[in-house]
Amino acid sequence: YNKDIVLDVYNSNNEIESHTYSHKNLTKINDKSLKNEVNSTNIIYNEITGDNIKFIRPPYGSYNNKVTSLGYPLILWSIDPKDWLYRDSTKVYNNVIKDACDGCIVLLHDIHLETKEAVKKLIPALNNLDYNVVSVEELMKIKKYIPKEGETIRKIK
């Protein structure tokens, strides 16, 4: 339903990865549903962009051997400021700043206005602390990190 948004983000040099088709807990569904959750997203993404999904962030951070056996590197996080819980831009900002580190992956949800407000302050603050805010794939390039199939990644060293 949002082809224009997907294309805009894709063409703006940002990274798009899969969070699955319908945000189900992947550890609680059968094999067929699991493959549908991942493949449906990849098919639609490919139809829109001509490209393929490279990584998955499983909903709720939930995964098991069935999920890792799909072969995609799983992107999790080393910092969860719990923006989905607090809905407070100052608290989200403080939770990221206090745990910021080289190679950290931060979980944020752009559906919350408070998160967007926190990010407006976070990016300059992190830059002032000599951190560069980049996509996961860009971080991998900087660190010369090559992900493995089915690997679970929380931080890029």
Query: Confidence band (pLDDT; 50, 70, 90) for 2?
Result: confident
Residue 56 φ/ψ region, left for φ over 0, alpha for ψ in the -120 to 50 degree band, beta for the rest: beta
pLDDT at position 34 is 97
Residue 58 φ/ψ region, left for φ over 0, alpha for ψ in the -120 to 50 degree band, beta for the rest: beta
Query: Confidence band (pLDDT; 50, 70, 90) for 14?
Result: confident
Q: What is the pTM of this model?
A: 0.90
Q: What interhelical angle do 113-128 and 89-99 show, nearest 10?
A: 30
The angle subtended at Cα 63 by Cα 61 and Cα 64, nearest 5°, is 160
